């Protein structure tokens, strides 16, 4: 895989001393439900994350981001929070969060937690109080004002206040019942009906979230990934909007007004190009959100350990996205335009060009990402006949990805992502090359999208399948520290017992994982990859090591003379400081820097590569043949 010597540096060498840590950090997303199960109940937990920290240290990431672990009825995988200051018993206790923070910090890993400010769970005490309050009293109005209650329209207020649709399908409004049993006002929920939207014009809401930030900062967290950061503020008067909100795009029009299916039949909306979205959406990307993030920036600035705010903002075009990371606001914003480009050199080239320009304008780093807990895993998307498709989940009756092709392209895409200057996020399992579970039984699906679209969209369960740690263990070793699975998962009673259990064989027993893994996960298991030459894990480890050694994350980006997106070739150089002399690969000029040339062949034919380089890394064993880079491959050529 490698020619020439490449060493892996200690992670401390990585960050430029004058930059805050997050500028070039590689951050690993942990989805706690599915990372590692320490207590053996079939559901991942915080003690499981702590137990697996050595694995992340070996991989060489700088930080972890934990998806929500707070008290929650789990109607949307924890993104329905009932108590922002405590841990759900499914995942442990507050002490487990503190222990995890301590252990991660001791291992040199920073920890980002998820913050969900657009909505609470309907089980949150505030919402319970709002529903039981008398709307005709001042006190009742005050507690209801924390949410978005509005009178209905039509006869007796039986129609929703406006035509907004939920991101998960169906209407964005649900009618409440007054304490006296009569039908009441409607409340807004851009997501599930169990996720009422908060009213960000309310001063108490603003104060509460500043307190929540401090609660976790006082416990040492290193930042927050801000959920639906583009959604908190709604346009004055809540005007109608003729599109269903996509997490990705708002471009899909609803059926014509009066059509019986209006608002329901919008399956496939996520496949639209976000660049098409140019119209103002009354619940997304409103100007008022920026003031909120400026106030949060000030809260974080009270702490001296450089905590970071990361925006999850499905906003386009990129010019709008980068407004979230202007000085004094957030620090990072996930680049979903890059994620959505798919395996396509022209689209990816455009996304990178514009991202680099826009980032420069505001002086913020780029934040690259290929997959997360909301997307079909890129190793599977890139194996579809159209590798730019972005379906919301895949099921057994859908087109099945070409797994081998997706595996190759997924590894090559990682070489693009991790070669680019800026910060990069890895979704748990990316480093194992995990594919999506594309044949999950519908009866096991838990994503509210599946139910709310009446099955038209499979939803996100297929990318949330528990991690395979050990190929030969039941549940592929998801229950870390346990040896045997004895029966169905108590946390998802529909999950069948893992085959092959033997209750007498080992002292510790565990339930089957809350979602079953596909058979193929055995070949991807961590114990088949760690220390195995040529494995995806080892490729990631090597890329992270070299990225750190050369400081690629803070390097200077330029398209190279090999760049030819129309022919499917993506090629850029990253020049990095380091005090050693070197020669530019393209021009041959002497420059006081180290240079890496990142090349990906996303086309159909083999392509020429530079003749001279000190060392190279290839995306897989057959990537280079007869001195040429083969299709569906990538390489880093290093010149010092």
Which residue has the CB atom at the shortest distance from ligand GLC?
79
- Binding footprint of ligand GLC, residue count (CB under 6 A): 10
Burial of 612 (0-12, 13-18, 19+ CB in 10 A): exposed
Give the pairing type, strands 624-625 and 628-629: antiparallel
Using CB under 6 A, pick the residue from 43, 87, 226, 247 that binds ligand GLC.
Answer: 247
CB of 100 to ligand GLC, least distance (A): 21
Exactly one of 30, 43, 64, 228 binds ligand GLC (CB under 6 A); that residue is 228
Distances (CA, A) of 258 to 60, 101, 261, 296, 539: 56, 53, 8, 43, 55
* Nearest to ligand GLC of 373, 389 (CB atom): 373
Nearest to 62 by CA among 570, 596, 422, 435: 422
Give min distance, CB of 166 to ligand GLC, in A: 10
What is the crossing angle of helices 536-550 and 403-419, to 10°?
10
What residues contact 503, with CB distance under 8 A and at least 6 apart? 484, 486, 509
Contacts to ligand GLC from residues 174-193, by CB under 6 A: 191
Nearest approach, Cβ of residue 263 and ligand GLC (Å): 19
Q: What is the DSSP string of 575-621?
A: EE-SS--EE-TTT--EESSEEEEEEEE-SSS-EE--S--SEEEESST
Smaller CB separation from ligand GLC, 195 or 576: 195
Minimum CB separation of residue 170 from ligand GLC in Å reads: 15
- Is residue 202 within 8 Å of 208, Cβ to Cβ? no
Residues 319-378 that bind ligand GLC (CB under 6 A): 373-374
Interactions with ligand GLC, residue window 68-97 (CB under 6 A)? 76, 79
> Shortest Cβ distance from residue 582 to ligand GLC (Å)?
41
Q: Give the residue with the Cβ less far from ligand GLC, 354 or 463.
A: 463
116 scored as a contact of ligand GLC (CB under 6 A): yes
Concatenate the DSSP letters of all residues of 59-104 into one string: HT-SEEEEPP-EE---TTTT-S-SEEEEE-TTT--HHHHHHHHHHH
- Please identify, using beta-carbon distances, which residue of 79 and 637 lies nearer to ligand GLC: 79
Closer residue to ligand GLC, CB minimum distance, 35 or 79: 79
Question: Helix, strand, coil shares of the chain as percentages rounded to 5?
Answer: 30, 15, 55
Only one residue has tokens 């789990």, namely 74
Beta carbon nearer to ligand GLC, 312 or 551? 312
* Distance (Å) of CA 479 to CA 48, 509, 516: 8, 9, 13
Residues 6+ apart with CB under 8 A from 582: 590, 591, 592, 593, 594, 595, 639, 640
Location of structure tokens 């291992």? 107
Nearer to ligand GLC by C-beta: 191 or 537?
Answer: 191
Answer whether 69's CB lies under 8 Å from 82's CB: no
Which lies closer to ligand GLC via its Cβ, residue 228 or residue 484? 228
Judged by beta carbon, residue 264 or residue 312, the one nearer ligand GLC is: 312
Instruction: List the one residue out of 461, 443, 408 whose CA is nearest residue 602.
Output: 408
- Closest by CA position to 608, among listed 554, 571, 575, 558: 571
227 makes contact with ligand GLC (CB under 6 A): yes
Residues between 274 and 313 that touch ligand GLC (CB under 6 A): 312
Residues 370-429 that bind ligand GLC (CB under 6 A): 373-374
The CB-of-460 to ligand GLC minimum distance in angstroms stands at 7
- Cα–Cα distance between 587 and 66 in angstroms, integer? 44
What ranges make up the beta strands (E) of 349-502? 367-369, 423-427, 484-485
Active site members: 227, 302
What are the structure tokens assigned to 111, written together? 């920890």
CA distances from 216 to 145, 299, 309 (A): 26, 12, 13
Q: Does 47 bind ligand GLC (CB under 6 A)?
A: no
Least CB distance to ligand GLC at residue 331 (A): 18
Of residues 321 and 550, the one with the C-beta less far from ligand GLC? 321
Comparing CB distances to ligand GLC, the nearer of 83 and 403 is: 83
- Say whether 556 sits in a helix, a strand or coil: strand
Two tokens, residue 51 = 């137990």
Burial of 384 from C-beta contacts in 10 A (0-12 / 13-18 / 19+): buried
Q: To the nearest whole angstrom, how small is the minimum distance from the Cβ of residue 198 to ligand GLC?
A: 12
Q: 558 and 589 in contact (C-beta within 8 Å)?
A: no
Distance from the Cα of residue 145 to its chain's centroid: 31
469, 478 in Cβ contact below 8 A?
A: yes
Nearer to ligand GLC, 191 or 540 (CB): 191
461 is written with which tokens? Answer: 């369960």
Residue 81: CB minimum distance to ligand GLC, A:
9
The Cα 614–Cα 517 span in angstroms is 42
Which residues of the chain form contacts with ligand GLC (CB under 6 A)? 76, 79, 116, 191, 227-228, 247, 312, 373-374
């Amino acid at each position: 895989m490698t020619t020439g010597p490449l060493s892996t540096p200690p992670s401390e060498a990585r960050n430029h001393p004058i930059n805050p840590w997050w500028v070039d950090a590689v951050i690993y997303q942990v989805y706690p439900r599915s990372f590692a199960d320490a207590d053996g109940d079939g559901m991942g937990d915080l003690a499981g994350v702590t137990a697996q920290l050595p694995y992340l240290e070996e991989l060489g990431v700088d930080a972890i981001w934990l998806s929500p672990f707070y008290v929650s009825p789990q109607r949307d995988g924890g993104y329905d929070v009932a108590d922002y200051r405590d841990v759900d018993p499914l995942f442990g206790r507050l002490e487990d969060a503190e222990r995890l923070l301590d252990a991660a910090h001791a291992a040199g890993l920073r920890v980002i937690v998820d913050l969900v400010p657009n909505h609470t769970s309907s089980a949150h005490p505030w919402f319970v109080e709002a529903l039981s309050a008398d709307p005709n009293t001042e006190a009742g109005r005050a507690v209801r004002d924390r949410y978005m209650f509005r009178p209905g329209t039509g006869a007796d207020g039986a129609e929703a206040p406006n035509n907004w649709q939920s991101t998960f399908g169906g209407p964005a409004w649900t009618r409440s019942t007054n304490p006296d049993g009569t039908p009441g006002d409607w409340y807004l929920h851009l997501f599930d009906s169990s996720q009422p939207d908060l009213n960000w014009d309310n001063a108490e809401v603003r104060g509460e979230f500043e307190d929540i930030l401090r609660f976790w900062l006082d416990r040492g967290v290193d930042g927050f990934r801000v959920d639906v950061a583009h959604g908190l503020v709604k346009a004055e008067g809540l005007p109608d909007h003729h599109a269903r909100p996509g997490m990705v795009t708002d471009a899909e029009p609803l059926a014509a007004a009066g059509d019986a299916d209006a608002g329901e039949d919008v399956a496939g909306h996520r496949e639209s190009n976000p660049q098409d979205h140019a119209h103002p959406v009354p619940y997304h990307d409103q100007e008022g959100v920026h003031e909120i993030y400026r106030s949060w920036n000030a809260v974080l600035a009270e702490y001296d350990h450089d905590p970071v705010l990361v925006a999850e903002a499905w906003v386009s075009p990129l010019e709008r996205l980068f407004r979230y990371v202007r000085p004094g606001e957030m620090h990072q914003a996930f680049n979903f335009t890059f994620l959505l480009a798919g395996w396509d050199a022209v689209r990816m080239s455009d996304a990178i060009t514009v991202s680099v320009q826009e980032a420069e304008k505001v002086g913020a780093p780029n934040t690259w990402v290929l997959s997360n807990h909301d997307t079909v895993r890129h190793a599977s998307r890139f194996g579809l006949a159209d590798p730019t498709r972005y379906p919301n989940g895949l099921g057994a009756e859908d087109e099945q990805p070409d797994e081998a092709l997706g595996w190759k392209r997924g590894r090559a895409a990682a070489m693009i992502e991790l070669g680019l200057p800026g910060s990069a996020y890895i979704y748990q399992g990316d480093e194992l090359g995990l594919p999506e579970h594309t044949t999950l039984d519908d009866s096991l699906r838990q994503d509210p999208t599946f139910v709310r679209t009446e099955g038209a969209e499979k939803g996100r369960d297929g990318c949330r399948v528990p991690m395979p740690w050990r190929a030969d263990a039941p549940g592929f070793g998801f229950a870390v520290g346990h040896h045997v699975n004895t029966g169905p998962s108590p946390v998802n009673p529909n999950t069948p017992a893992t085959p092959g259990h033997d209750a007498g064989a080992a002292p510790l027993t565990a339930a089957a994982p809350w979602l079953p893994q596909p058979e193929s996960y055995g070949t991807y298991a961590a114990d088949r990859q760690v220390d195995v030459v040529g494995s995806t894990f080892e490729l990631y480890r090597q890329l992270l090591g070299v990225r750190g050694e050369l400081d690629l994350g803070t390097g200077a980006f330029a398209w190279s003379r090999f760049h030819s997106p129309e022919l499917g070739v993506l090629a850029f150089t990253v020049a990095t400081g380091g005090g050693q002399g070197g020669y530019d690969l393209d021009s041959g000029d002497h420059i006081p820097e180290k240079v890496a040339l990142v090349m990906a062949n996303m086309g159909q034919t083999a392509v020429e590569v530079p003749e001279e380089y000190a060392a190279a890394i290839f995306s897989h064993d057959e990537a280079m043949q007869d001195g040429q880079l083969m299709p569906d491959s990538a390489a880093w050529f290093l010149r010092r």
